[in-house]
Structure 1
């Protein structure tokens, strides 16, 4: 089970990330581009989701494109969901209490890569690659 402290730690470990708010909720940005944020459900979301609406904390996360969003929701609907509010937008909602630590780390990094400037993303990926063994 992941926590907001885990999200904060993972997000702030990435280059040029800052913590702030978006619509009054915690959000993490890379050069002023939000990549992960707390996303409480709104009335329209609750109406759409009906009795199956999650009641725990939700993380919004940028993804590379809508295909990735659809794949995540289809592959693991116990963890990932979306609402009509996000139609046409490359982002997914994540049940924070259902995602494991390793998957959260990958999700936060991928969200950062989706929003980071290309040069910064390339530099980060190059720095993360293990050095070739001799």
Structure 2
């Protein structure tokens, strides 16, 4: 396994993709968006603690959740169903193309896998021409 992922890797991966900016959405939540500017669409959001996502053992609201967009509901389900990954979903996200992951559990996957999941999220929200150019250049 490559190096385990860390919360710092999230910022590095997001900022390493073209035309990404850290803005806000859902009121005041830090959100990575593509493209930069007013037309930016969020692809990764730092979710505030909420009663819809609680630790089943303690009942405490998770305070370190990331919401990562997925290209399709099938892609979401694959991530959620894979017991080797920390990705999950909650009823509040039924029918929504996104997975949740606790920052404290990112080390259960490696940087390469986190990069792939975030890049897929970016590509699903970025303008198609930008995605084509990125993958053609890469």
TM-score by length of 2: 0.79
Q: Which residue of 2 aligns with 1:87?
A: 94
- The alpha carbon displacement at 1:3 in A equals 3.4
Selected match of 1:69 from 63, 72, 76: 76
In the TM superposition, residue 55 of structure 1 has moved relative to its aligned partner by: 4.3
Change (3 A) 1:14 1:7: same
Tell me the distance in 2 between the aligned counterparts of 1:19 and 1:2.
Answer: 20
Q: Distance in 2 between matches of 1:52 and 1:75?
A: 24
Q: Which runs of 5+ in 1 are unaligned?
A: 129-134
Q: 2:137 aligns with which of 94, 105, 127?
A: 127
Structure 2, unaligned stretches of length 5 or more? none
Whichever structure has more helix as a proportion of its residues is 1
Q: Measure the CA separation in 2 of the matches of 1:69 and 1:12.
A: 23
Counterpart in the other structure of 1:132: none
Q: CA RMSD in A?
A: 2.2
Structure 1: distance between partners of 2:135 and 2:10: 20
Q: Size of the alignment, in residue pairs?
A: 126
Quote the offset at 1:77 in angstroms. 6.8
Is 1:27 matched up with 2:37?
no
Alpha-carbon separation, structure 2, partners of 1:45 and 1:55: 6
The aligned runs of 1:29-44 (5 Å cut-off) are: 29-31=33-35, 32-44=40-52
Whole-Å separation in 1 of the counterparts to 2:80 and 2:44? 17
Cα displacement (A) at 1:44 = 2.5
